A and B are shown apart, each in its own frame.
Chain A
Amino acid sequence: MSYVTESKEKNQKMNSKIMLDSLPGFLGKNYLIVTLVILIIAGMILSNKFFMTRNILNILLQNSMMTIISMGMLFAIITGGIDLSVGSVVALSGCLVAGFIQGGVSTLPAVSLVLLLMALVGMTSGILVSYGRIAPFIVTLAMMTIVRGLAYIYQIGADRRIDGTALTETINSNIGIIPVPIIIMAIVVILAGFILGKTTFGRSVYAIGGNSETARLAGINVNLNVILVYIISSVLAAISGIILAGRLSMGTALVGQGFELDAIAAVVVGGASLSGGTGTAVNTLMGAFIIGILANIMNLMGVAAYPQMIIKGVIIVAAVLIKRGLGKNE
């Protein structure tokens, strides 16, 4: 009896304490949501077109591919690695899927084959990183130029057009009012969140990034998990590449330049540390959309492309500084 009242009193004390000094703590934990809300409100004030359904769907569609790539990048970054090859994988997978369809392969086998081939690319990177003990930056930098080269070779000069094929039709169709790429993005984000948060594999990925020696001594197969991570990253980039090929109605080796850096930016703005061990799918999603919505607002306001690049750079640095500043209050 007395224990119960005592704990009640304690609770009340704690509650009032939370009310008093938890604002910095609240901001520290939810600064991404707060930033997003501020951006959305700012967008509504600055442009009356911003909050229209069409614009919102537009934002989602435009950022769907980058978000999917960012999810793969997130896996790599949580292990303390990085995957610079994703932009090139986008290009090669687009070229390959278009080429296969041109060659008469039907949509589903073509897509499956491309995903499988890109999984091999990821596996190669993963093996070089884990068993080869080469820095992920170097491995994937090499893979980036190799894959880009393969894309140009496969494309043989001309773009591979796939106008009016089943793939193009599917990618450009809607389910209800929602375009298919947004649905794919949603599925990828939910799956990534589930894998990272709720599976032993996800836990191992965090453990490897947190302290790979501790993970190894606890019986986790570090090498195998690292290989899986790079396969995931490559396959997700390939999904993006296939979506892009569908939207463009062609496969071309020219796309995907610099996608890897945009994906890293999304993950970092989402609060993950490049030294590994931290980051979540939801935060990366918000990171991607903070960058995406900002770009949309600037487009609506007629800001030119080059000043936009400068602002994007400033945002990336600001995000890290804000996180560090708020982190101190925790």
Chain B
Amino acid sequence: MTKSTVLEMIGIKKEFPGVKALDQVDFSAQKAEIHALVGENGAGKSTLMKILSGVYSCSTYDGKLKLYGKEKKFYKPKDAEEAGIVIIHQELMLLDELSVAENIFLGHLNNKCGLVNWKTVYERAQNILKQLDAEIDVRMKVKNLGVGHKQLVEIAKALSLQSKILILDEPTAALTEIEIVHLFGVLKELRKKEMTLIYISHRMAEVFKLADRISVLRDGRLIATENKHGLSHRKVVSMMVGREICTMYPVTRVKPGKELLKIEDYSLNGTEKTAQVIVKNANLSLKAGEIVGIFGLLGSGRTELVSSIFGAYRRKGIGKIYINSFPVNIKNPKQAIKYGLAFVTEDRKQNGLILNTGVIQNISLATLKTVSKKGILYSQTENKLADRQIKNLGIKTAGIGVNASKLSGGNQQKVVLGKWLSTKPGILILDEPTRGVDVGAKSEIYQIIRDLADSGVGIIMVSSDLPEIIGMSNRVYVMNQGQIAGEFDKADLTEELIMQYATGIYN
């Protein structure tokens, strides 16, 4: 009755500078099972899978990894691949300009003296795709495929390697309903062929539809591995979040004032290719002095919603936006800034900072007008501005001219905050304001945000960090698959409740 154990990870311990990512994790998977791995962002899921797939060399962590009872050491991804373990990342790793067949056999095209027999390559690719019930032209370039088909090509690639263990990281995040149904069919087929599938997902409904067993990670520890039938949605969610909220969140001293921002019936359409709706009929309001949290898991449309309010999203939204009760039509960030909006983006390195430029230039970037007259910069005014922000926000830097790239994550984030606070915004949008920030700087940033709100600024805080959103917000909107699934006042907030709405249990 008991299936044979294929994989065992015993006592896995992995530390990053200052953070214990995994602590004594024991994880095992069996032959012919779909094993779901769930947990909050930062719980350690991807770290564990990176260890399993050889991305982190065995010299960088403690613990044992056994395959079929034999201990294995992976120094690089290739080692894991040769042992039959393949990971399919959330961001697909295909080469757009190559054909489907070339992608499937990338790195192991069989050839004679450097010459490829394309006929057999195409035939073999066709055969593998047939197993996946996928009708894809193997000669077509990958860039012409939709996300769903690309995913199947990734799976075909894994099959071509004769892999025994397949890890899928959030495979459905970018798929449409029909594609998801097809993918699930494929995964169940693979299970019949005695493969082991490790399935990482946030979506509770999918996990329960698909998995045989479920493992829950929280704060780097494995909380439980149990058979699906012994579990309920609620129980899994409570295992995911079950911890105390600590006291790092400052309390508000003021009552919300007049309404600053109102959004009515706001929608964002995706590209024609995916035919997905990114945001659907969102309604949202923000008052002065209020911190409004937006919680959503990956792919929920949270970032797209706020960046389109700021005029920064590549497609225009449909719906009404009011600022101070006036209808506005914001076409670009420049106009948004004029309306008193500021937007601290999710990824400070990608689009928050100019890394190879000084702290001072980064701080003054959004307010060049106020540090200049008739287009000529006044370095004294600019220096004063930078000094003031460095002092007020407690930015630790060796000088105002130091390149932003040299600062720590927390200080970089404060520089971005300083840039936007220099514009004296009425409405501040924060997207994941404490991602990649150490605990000390985190609580400083929380204090800064609360002080701003108390001074009358309206703040929208997008976050996928549950304790943060509960600790900071006056009100929370929970998004699920492009829709605002629920709105809660601070008094009603619990981690379980938010997670239930975010994972779509109540959808």
A206/B357 in contact, CB under 8 A: yes
User: Hey, which chain A residues are within 8 Å of B12, CB to CB?
Assistant: none
Interface of A: prevailing SS: helix
Residues of B364-378 at the interface with A, using a CB-CB cut-off of 8 Å, are 364-366, 368-369, 372, 375-377
Complex: chain B residue closest to A330, CB-CB = B403
Q: Identify the interface centre among A199, A200, A219, A277: most chain B CB within 10 Å of its CB.
A: A219
Known: A217-B333, A219-B333, A219-B334. A200 touches B369 (CB 8 A): yes
Q: Complex: how many Å from CA A144 to CA B375?
A: 32
A210/B351 in contact, CB under 8 A: no
The proximity string for A residues 196-224 relative to B, scoring 1 for CB distances below 8 Å and 0 otherwise, is 00111101101100110111111111000
Instruction: Please tell me which one of the listed residues B312, B353, B368 contacts residue A211 in the complex, with CB atoms under 8 A apart.
Output: B353
B355/A211 in contact, CB under 8 A: yes
User: Hey, which chain A residues are within 8 Å of B372, CB to CB?
Assistant: 199-200
In the complex, what's the smallest C-beta–C-beta distance from A8 to chain B, in angstroms?
19
Residues of A185-204 at the interface with B, using a CB-CB cut-off of 8 Å, are 198-201, 203-204
In the complex, what's the smallest C-beta–C-beta distance from A194 to chain B, in angstroms?
9
B354/A277 in contact, CB under 8 A: yes
Q: Complex: how many Å from CA A218 to CA B377?
A: 17
A252 sits at the interface (CB 8 A): no
User: Hey, which chain A residues are within 8 Å of B332, CB to CB?
Assistant: 216
Residues of B358-392 at the interface with A, using a CB-CB cut-off of 8 Å, are 361, 364-366, 368-369, 372, 375-377, 379
User: Hey, which chain A residues are within 8 Å of B4, CB to CB?
Assistant: none
Q: Identify the interface centre among A201, A213, A217, A220: most chain B CB within 10 Å of its CB.
A: A217
The proximity string for A residues 215-254 relative to B, scoring 1 for CB distances below 8 Å and 0 otherwise, is 1111111000000000000000000000000000000000
B477 sits at the interface (CB 8 A): no
A198/B376 in contact, CB under 8 A: yes
User: Hey, which chain A residues are within 8 Å of B368, CB to CB?
Assistant: 200, 203-204, 220
In the complex, what's the smallest C-beta–C-beta distance from B371 to chain A, in angstroms?
8
Q: Identify the interface centre among B345, B364, B368, B419: most chain A CB within 10 Å of its CB.
A: B368
B199 sits at the interface (CB 8 A): no
Complex: chain A residue closest to B379, CB-CB = A198
B312/A207 in contact, CB under 8 A: no
User: Hey, which chain A residues are within 8 Å of B336, CB to CB?
Assistant: 219
Q: Identify the interface centre among A199, A218, A220, A278: most chain B CB within 10 Å of its CB.
A: A218
Q: Complex: how many Å from CA A120 to CA B94?
A: 42
Known: A200-B368, A206-B361, A207-B365. A217 touches B312 (CB 8 A): yes
B350 sits at the interface (CB 8 A): yes
Q: Complex: how many Å from CA A216 to CA B355?
A: 15
A216/B312 in contact, CB under 8 A: yes
User: Hey, which chain A residues are within 8 Å of B365, CB to CB?
Assistant: 203, 207, 214-215, 218, 220
B376/A210 in contact, CB under 8 A: no
B337/A219 in contact, CB under 8 A: yes
User: Hey, which chain B residues are within 8 Å of A204, CB to CB?
Assistant: 368
Residues of B323-349 at the interface with A, using a CB-CB cut-off of 8 Å, are 332-334, 336-338, 343, 345
Q: Complex: how many Å from CA A85 to CA B101?
A: 42
B42 sits at the interface (CB 8 A): no
B356 sits at the interface (CB 8 A): yes
Q: Complex: how many Å from CA A217 to CA B429?
A: 12
Interface on A for B, CB 8 Å cutoff?
A: 198-201, 203-204, 206-207, 210-211, 213-221, 277-278
Known interface pairs A203-B365, A210-B355; 4 further A-B residue pairs with C-beta atoms within 8 A, sorted by A's residue number: A199-B375, A210-B357, A216-B312, A218-B419
- Contacts A/B (CB < 8 Å), 21 sampled: A198-B376, A199-B372, A199-B375, A199-B377, A200-B368, A200-B369, A200-B372, A200-B375, A200-B376, A203-B361, A207-B354, A207-B357, A207-B365, A214-B351, A215-B365, A216-B312, A217-B312, A217-B351, A217-B352, A219-B366, A221-B334
